[in-house]
Structure 1
Amino acid sequence: MEVLHTTGVSPGQGAALLAFAVLVLLWAYAELLAFRKRGYQRVHSDEESSPPPMEAGGPISAAEHAPAAAPDLSIANSGFIRCLRLDPEALVSSRDGLRAAVEFGIIMLWYFLADRTKVFPETTKSYSRDVMAFIFLGLTIVAWMTSMRKGKAPVLLNRSQTEEWKGWMQVLFLLYHYFEAKEVYNAIRVFIAGYVWMTGFGNFSYYYKTNDFSFGRFCQMMWRLNFLVAMTCIVLRNSYMLYYICPMHTLFTIMVYACLGLGSRFNSTHTGVFVKLALCVVVVFVCWDIKPVFYAIWGPFKFLMGYIDPRRPGDDALYEWYFRSSLDRYVWIHGMLCAYLHPWCERVLQSIESLAAKTRRFARGAMLLVAVALFYVWFEKVYRLPKLEYNKVHPYTSWIPITLWIVVRNVTPSLRMHSLGLYAWLGCITLETYISQFHTWLSTGIPDGQPKMLLAFFPAEYPLLNFAGTTAVYVFVSYRLFILTNTLKSVVVPSKTGPLMWRNFCLVVGGCGILYCSAWLILSGTGLRVKPALQDPSFRDAAAATEAFHP
């Protein structure tokens, strides 16, 4: 088997390294200035006396009532440019942002160190149903005993509940990758559909209730979904589609935004909303079920959405994107429908609670009985199908177990009010745990490689010790990335559309362009620039020994 591999340093990697070096220097100088300032204040604090009180109408009062000067939003006076000019005031006030950027860069270096070098060894995956089940059940028991939370009101599909839902699904999704548990493939497909369902549900709920279609809010959402994956792709020279869940969520988020944002005046009527949902179904059918249309639409974007596994080179770069996105192409619309019907469902649950005790128990029992019966039919007729056959029916049936889970999880007020805090916490960092697993828990080894191996801190004869050690580092890194991504978002992307946003946009684009061109010139001059794809024999044995694994 031939393995396509590239050598050298890409201009993107060079630009990232240059940016990191500049940020480290600026941050170090900012910390030095802050340290000196604190020392100066301590020395002179006893020497300074309080100024005499000013009477009303004096200088202070006049300053308080003077109209505030309009902020200078020019590029030359931006905080970043002032930092580059080594303005002490700007550097000290920007310390938190600089510190976050430097820590983010250190984690990117850790990714590269753990996944692209031989500093840490690799070990092979081995599946044990018993160990995998023990880990999940043990974690669930710990969560139940230590992190049970009670909400203020029994709200259907409240935030804590959906975060918990994402959390326990993510744990099983990650264990599936770690142990290569192929026998639960169909369940993982349902879990991924659950994530996409929540994309439709959550975004519809927000836009429908707030009518906030501002470009600033949209850009913040795009930053949340794509900043980390974009930087990871640049630093590790990977394709965007290697992390296929990110483009999937991005696309379906944009489609929800377009559905409600276009003709938003029609959102106020039942007819308008249902017509929009029907049009979404038609658009999805045309763009996915008619395959030539899909390829015609995405062909020009092959540079972004294309992916070829270097261990299994082929000629259809868009196949991975078509396969992944088509599996869950309808379920986000079901999520939107559920969000729209949410108030009605709340009223139904409230009406059940108002019934007499005996009638109420009968109604709940009937709901559970119907849910269990439908789940049994789905399990026997759909879930137990072989992998390839299941993939064919999954786009049309994934909404069934999702809906049944919602019914069972919300059948009583107590179930709606309680959630497991540990899983809810993990649910908040699903994006970070998804991306980090490739490079600090598992191991890909080469650009665009699938995570076929495990990162190892200990010898192969200690698999559980290795699992514990790498998992601790992995979860810590993921949590820090969650914090850092949000910190940098608040620095770079304003929440409101206006001159500040466009100024920051120009700064980011201009800065990236300068860094890229500088890196390209340096790498070209030194002969270190990445070479075209070649057949690297160093990976042939590993590729021949492993069968491609599609998570």
Structure 2
Amino acid sequence: MSDEKVYSVHLSNFGFGLLVWLLILAQQIRHEFGLKDPHKCLTLLQNGTWSPLAPDGSRKWEPKGCRMVEHAADSLCECLDHQKLVFIGDSTIRQLFWTAAKKVARGRSETSMKRILQSNNKHHNLFFRTDCAQLDFIWDPWLNSSTSYDILKNFNALPPTLSEQSTEMNEQSPMLIVLGAPGFWAARYGGDDYLNIFKRAIAGISPYLSPDLDKNISTAMTTTRNSGGVTSKIFLTPVGIPNYEDLAPNRSKSITPDRVEEMNYHLSRVFTRNSTFIPWVYNEIPMDPKKDIDRDGLHVSDSVAALKLEIIFNALCNSAANARSRSFRGTCCVAAPKNDIFVAACLLLGLVVGFTTGARRALEVSGNSEGINCALAIGNILIILIWCWCADGISFLGKVERHYQQGTFVTTCVIWLVASVLSLSRSPQQKGGPSPSKRDPPGYRGPGYLSRNQSNEIKGLMQGIILLYHYHYASQVLWVYKIIRLFIAGYFYISGYAHTQYLLTTDDFSLQRVIEILFRINLLSVLLSYMMGTTYTSYYFAPVATFWYLVLYAMLFFFKSRNRDMRWLLFKVLLTTRLTNWFILTPGILETAAKIIHFFFFISIDVQEMRFRLGLDRYITFVGIIVAALVHHASVRRSRPVLELGFGKAVFSLEFTRWLTTICVGSIVTFFYVTQTYLQEKRAYNQLHPLISWIPILGFILLRNSHRMFRDWYLTLPNILGTFSLETYVLQYHIWLGGDATAKLVVGYWEGR
């Protein structure tokens, strides 16, 4: 067996062993932590923190270990589906009722809300119906009324499709019940017997909040995870912690820290901390007394009330929303989705491992490696797909929000650049040859303009920073966004240049070559769209690169005999530019193409996203084509009037080289000064980007090739990354990051330690 064959077998065995080890580690994490909180409801209801301030000054509440989302009114109405929500308690619970009513009303029932608000009697029941839900508020500050008990008796934890009760009873059973612990009224009006009053109220409702309810909810979540069914829930809010300094004198004498703490302690003894129906996190939210608490010291601000309600809605609706769409971002209170493709991939991987193990000895005897090499390639792809699903598709690994911290982002980028520079190497043709001061060996022409090592180096440098850009959530910072957009355009420039050079040099327009290129570009993106349930355009780099390759190929293929005539080639470039602009920007064309692709391949395309991505870089590929044609024609003629091609000696005079360097440096500096100073809106920059992105890209590449010494050396580390930059870009969505590259993956092993 040759060294290459042995290497391939060992690499595949290493990948399979690594996958097994990661799965064992994930199972250990799940065993230690997941059994306590399999759906990450406890972490939603018990732990959290405010995010760091965003550049715009905003902040978000983030549970520890899972992602909470803000349900829009439409998605919330889809979850509620015309069912009943009941709020029972005092004025603090009534505040949650009004917050819910405003959210689901969607601005269509303001008159009805105002009429109810104008009622003089505050201590009465309220009923409010919208076009998507029925909301009831039961005034019961002691939590002991017959109305409350009747509602609790009729409550069903299972959704209507799983309940064994009659349809009539299901219609009466609320989807959500929010109970307010009667702490404030017991402390205010209960006198010295406040604790006994509180205990009796809790004892009266405890049969409806038994641990069996938590078990039923878990069972229902698991059963309905793929059907979109919503599991009904009861929540008992703890006794709130008021701002004691702002309490009125008649309240501050009875509502004291000791009494509040004692009542909450009783709650924690009756109901364990593992109960998923007490949102203890309500008392853990850090609040500014001046902004987040009302002047009476008891009620919170509208924004905090909305946050408390959003926590409840995340516990209620996330699992069903996740079942409807795998692109749903929330991971709190979400049951693990079922994926038949994942099961099939695991079974197929087992067959591949069995085949390669059994065929290895036969390979050593016969020397026929095609079958086993194909099996090894399939095995490696399956390993990647399985790990992507384990890392991002299910709850083995946690997902947390990203936050931009400029110092950390810049530091990691500098470290990457320094490590890249330290990996400086001489081009392979020069290794072992004469020193640069001596004459080159006969026939040596140097690495040439934008050689393979150099293009891989540039792609690797850009890809390393792009990975850090996404990991550190630097996309929300405009000055970084502008630079990254240039990196993306630079990739398409290099791609257009390389494909054009190949086609002009080899005249290889064969179908086999096209299939190989398209297979390489799209393999991971297409397979992941099936495995992860995402759209093809989620990994937008692949479809955009595919589009521009097909455009480039078609342009050079038609009248290919005319490609040697620069005038004809420039005419074809201008004509193709006009046609692609029409194809991209005209409504209806991309939509039709997306429908055709979905019909034949069953993959979804976000047309608006595709149009935006294609429009951003709709000219830079043609710049790469033109430069490649100029270089090729200069090389063919053996006259070097356009660019120094690395044929051994300098072709530009020292004076011309200085002028070229000055122009390139000046263009790059002017570009960044103008774009970073005057274009302070992303939309304005995006409109100009297609027209001006070629300026710094050409300037940098001309500088990179302006001297023989620059072309003879390259950076090894970025060069290695650049050889599989497309794969790393796609895989970052599920391995480097999570939630389709919108969150960071965390192991969670040290969570809570």
Question: Residues 34-433 of structure 1 correspond to what in structure 2 (within 5 A)?
Answer: 34-35=360-361, 94-150=371-427, 152=429, 153-181=446-474, 182-183=476-477, 184-291=480-587, 293-295=589-591, 298=594, 300-301=596-597, 307=605, 317-343=606-632, 347-348=640-641, 349-350=643-644, 360-384=653-677, 385=679, 386-433=681-728
* SS of the residue 1:419 aligns to: strand
| C-alpha contact 1:33 1:92 (8 A) present in aligned 2 | no
- Cα distance in 1 for residues equivalent to 2:528 and 2:611: 23
Change (3 A) 1:102 1:297: closer
Change (3 A) 1:13 1:440: same
**CA drift at 1:291:** 4.2
Change (3 A) 1:233 1:338: same
- Structure 1 residue ranges without an equivalent (≥5): 42-88, 308-316, 445-449, 463-551
| C-alpha contact 1:13 1:237 (8 A) present in aligned 2 | no
* SS of the residue 2:718 aligns to: helix
Change (3 A) 1:461 1:366: farther
Aligned partner of 1:14 among 323, 340, 358 = 340
Aligned partner of 2:746 among 438, 447, 456 = 456
User: 1:84-115 deviations in whole A, cap 9, x for unaligned?
Assistant: xxxxx899862332233223212211111110
| C-alpha contact 2:359 2:372 (8 A) present in aligned 1 | no
| C-alpha contact 2:342 2:386 (8 A) present in aligned 1 | no
User: Taking structure 1 as the reference length, what is the TM-score of the superposition?
Assistant: 0.65
Residue of structure 2 in register with 1:442 after alignment? 737
Larger Rg: 2
Give, as a single letter, the amino acid of the residue that structure 2 aligns with 1:112: W
- Cα distance in 1 for residues equivalent to 2:742 and 2:325: 23
**CA drift at 1:125:** 1.4
| C-alpha contact 1:147 1:421 (8 A) present in aligned 2 | yes
* SS of the residue 1:6 aligns to: helix
| C-alpha contact 1:122 1:455 (8 A) present in aligned 2 | yes
- Cα distance in 2 for residues equivalent to 1:413 and 1:426: 24
Question: Residues 469-484 of structure 1 correspond to what in structure 2 (within 5 A)?
Answer: none
Residue of structure 1 in register with 2:351 after alignment? 25
Change (3 A) 1:387 1:92: closer
Over the matched positions of the two proteins, sequence identity in percent amounts to 25
| C-alpha contact 1:302 1:318 (8 A) present in aligned 2 | no
* SS of the residue 1:248 aligns to: helix
Give, as a single letter, the amino acid of the residue that structure 1 aligns with 2:522: N
**CA drift at 1:421:** 0.9
| C-alpha contact 2:495 2:621 (8 A) present in aligned 1 | yes
**CA drift at 1:342:** 1.4
| C-alpha contact 1:208 1:267 (8 A) present in aligned 2 | yes
| C-alpha contact 2:535 2:604 (8 A) present in aligned 1 | yes
Give, as a single letter, the amino acid of the residue that structure 1 aligns with 2:484: I
| C-alpha contact 2:405 2:472 (8 A) present in aligned 1 | yes
- Cα distance in 2 for residues equivalent to 1:282 and 1:396: 14
CA RMSD in angstroms, aligned pairs only: 3.3
- Structure 2 residue ranges without an equivalent (≥5): 1-70, 76-320, 327-337, 430-445
| C-alpha contact 2:424 2:713 (8 A) present in aligned 1 | no
| C-alpha contact 2:388 2:735 (8 A) present in aligned 1 | yes
* SS of the residue 2:514 aligns to: helix
Residue of structure 1 in register with 2:308 after alignment? none
* SS of the residue 1:18 aligns to: helix
Change (3 A) 1:144 1:458: farther
User: 1:340-379 deviations in whole A, cap 9, x for unaligned?
Assistant: 01146772444999779xx944322221222222223322
- Cα distance in 2 for residues equivalent to 1:97 and 1:330: 38
Give, as a single letter, the amino acid of the residue that structure 1 aligns with 2:357: E
User: 1:457-513 deviations in whole A, cap 9, x for unaligned?
Assistant: 367899xxxxxxxxxxxxxxxxxxxxxxxxxxxxxxxxxxxxxxxxxxxxxxxxxxx
Residue of structure 2 in register with 1:485 after alignment? none
Residue of structure 1 in register with 2:118 after alignment? none
Give, as a single letter, the amino acid of the residue that structure 1 aligns with 2:732: Q
Residue of structure 2 in register with 1:534 after alignment? none
**CA drift at 1:219:** 0.6
- Cα distance in 1 for residues equivalent to 2:745 and 2:702: 40
**CA drift at 1:230:** 1.3
- Higher helix proportion: 1
**CA drift at 1:208:** 1.0
**Larger relative contact order (C-alpha < 8 A, sep ≥ 6)?**
1
- Cα distance in 1 for residues equivalent to 2:507 and 2:360: 43
Which stretch has the larger CA shift, 95-104 or 429-438?
95-104
**CA drift at 1:164:** 0.5
Change (3 A) 1:362 1:95: same
* SS of the residue 1:94 aligns to: helix
Which stretch has the larger CA shift, 227-236 or 282-291?
282-291
- Cα distance in 1 for residues equivalent to 2:546 and 2:354: 36
Change (3 A) 1:275 1:351: closer
Give, as a single letter, the amino acid of the residue that structure 2 aligns with 1:236: M
User: 1:164-220 deviations in whole A, cap 9, x for unaligned?
Assistant: 010111111111100011320111111111111122111111111111111111111
**CA drift at 1:419:** 0.7
Which stretch has the larger CA shift, 142-151 or 227-236?
142-151
- Cα distance in 1 for residues equivalent to 2:425 and 2:362: 46
User: 1:124-163 deviations in whole A, cap 9, x for unaligned?
Assistant: 2122222222222222222322342335415111111111
- Cα distance in 2 for residues equivalent to 1:37 and 1:426: 32
Residue of structure 2 in register with 1:60 after alignment? none
Residue of structure 2 in register with 1:494 after alignment? none
Change (3 A) 1:194 1:28: same
- Cα distance in 1 for residues equivalent to 2:325 and 2:666: 58
**CA drift at 1:298:** 4.9
User: 1:214-259 deviations in whole A, cap 9, x for unaligned?
Assistant: 1111111111011111111111111101000100000100111111
Change (3 A) 1:278 1:302: same
| C-alpha contact 2:539 2:730 (8 A) present in aligned 1 | yes
Change (3 A) 1:100 1:289: closer
Change (3 A) 1:108 1:19: closer
User: 1:499-550 deviations in whole A, cap 9, x for unaligned?
Assistant: xxxxxxxxxxxxxxxxxxxxxxxxxxxxxxxxxxxxxxxxxxxxxxxxxxxx
* SS of the residue 2:397 aligns to: coil
